[in-house]
Amino acid sequence: MRKFFAGVAVATLATAGVVGMSGTAQAIPDNKEPEVWICDGVEREIFAGGRSAWINGVHYHAVMLRFGGVFTPEGGGEPIEEFETKTWAGGRGLDDPDLVRCTLHFEETVPGEGTFVGDGLALAVPVR
């Protein structure tokens, strides 16, 4: 189960890293596929790469990422809650007037393992 959660968390954190912002549309890595997040109430495609992300061609840096959810083992067993938070630069930028708040809901079922249902939050600022 931990291995399953770790895989989901790593994949999600990698995606979330996309929420960091700065630069231009030309700076978006060619090999990145977009993820759909809700940013400030609007559905957006985000291209992520580490702590950086591109939203509408603008490059952002994540200031804080938070993911949490519940793993339910297949065939029964107690559900297990898991939470992960990552903050950069001591949270500097959380008071930035251009801060973007993006959320994501995800569900993943692995046959023979179980189901993980969770939510993500990314707070990011434009790279200046």
**Using one digit for the tens of pLDDT, what is the confidence trace for 103-120?**
999 999 999 999 999 999
On whether the CB atoms of residues 17 and 86 are closer than 8 A, the answer is no
User: Does pLDDT of 27 surpass 80?
Assistant: no
Q: DSSP letters along the chain, please?
A: -HHHHHHHHHHHHHHHGGG-EES-GGGS-TTPPPEEEEETTEEEEEEEETTEEEETTEEEEEEEEEEEEEEEETTS---EEEEEEEESGGGTTTT-TT-EEEEEEEEEEETTTEEEEEEEEEEEEEE-
User: Does pLDDT of 3 surpass 80?
Assistant: no
User: Does pLDDT of 124 surpass 90?
Assistant: yes
On whether the CB atoms of residues 17 and 65 are closer than 8 A, the answer is yes
d(C-alpha 116, C-alpha 48), whole Å: 22
The pLDDT tens digits of the residues spanning 42-91 come to: 999 988 877 888 888 889 999 999 999 999 999 988 999 999 999 998 88
User: Does pLDDT of 18 surpass 60?
Assistant: no
Q: Please, which residues have CB within 8 angstroms of residue 76's CB and are 6 or more apart in sequence?
A: none
Find the mean pLDDT for residues 21-45. 72
User: Does pLDDT of 5 surpass 90?
Assistant: no
d(C-alpha 29, C-alpha 53), whole Å: 10
